[in-house]
Amino acid sequence: MREADLKYKKLVLVCTNDRENGKECCSQKGSVDLHQKLKQAVKAVDLQVRVSRTGCLGNCLSGASVVIMPDDIWLGEVTEDDIDEIIQLITS
Ligand code: FES
């Protein structure tokens, strides 16, 4: 093992999990498109931020779920309408 030589200052995780048997989950609430659009928005402002898809964050009933690290900001009920506010959170 070695320490990774990463260039990112922040990591934004967007849950795109799809639960079995139609159980409520983030993918049902548009999180796959949310991830793509948030990634594009971050890239457009040239932030040193990695936006990655992730599995379940344990907040399925209040998805779509997003986490901003290392700021330890946990968000629920996130939609594409929140992208500008997320950019502000990342840059503040
Ligand atoms: S499915 Fe997204 S938090 Fe569980």
Q: Is the Cβ atom of 26 under 6 angstroms away from ligand 1?
A: yes
**SS3 per residue for 19-31:** CHHHCCCHHHHCH
List the helix and strand counts (H, then E) for the chain.
Answer: 2, 4
Q: Is the Cβ atom of 25 under 6 angstroms away from ligand 1?
A: yes
Q: What is the pLDDT of residues 20-72, one digit of tens each?
A: 999 999 999 999 999 999 999 999 998 899 999 999 999 999 999 999 999 99
Name the CATH topology of 10-91. Glutaredoxin (3.40.30)
Q: Where are the beta strands (DSSP E) in the chain?
A: 10-15, 49-54, 66-69, 73-75
Q: Is 83 exposed, middle or buried (0-12, 13-18, 19+ CB in 10 A)?
A: middle
Q: What is the pLDDT of residues 80-91, one digit of tens each?
A: 999 999 999 999
Expressed in angstroms and rounded, the spacing between residue 2 Cα and the centre of ligand 1 is: 30
Q: Is the Cβ atom of 16 under 6 angstroms away from ligand 1?
A: no
Pocket test for ligand 1, best of 18, 21, 65 (most atoms within 8 A of CB): 65
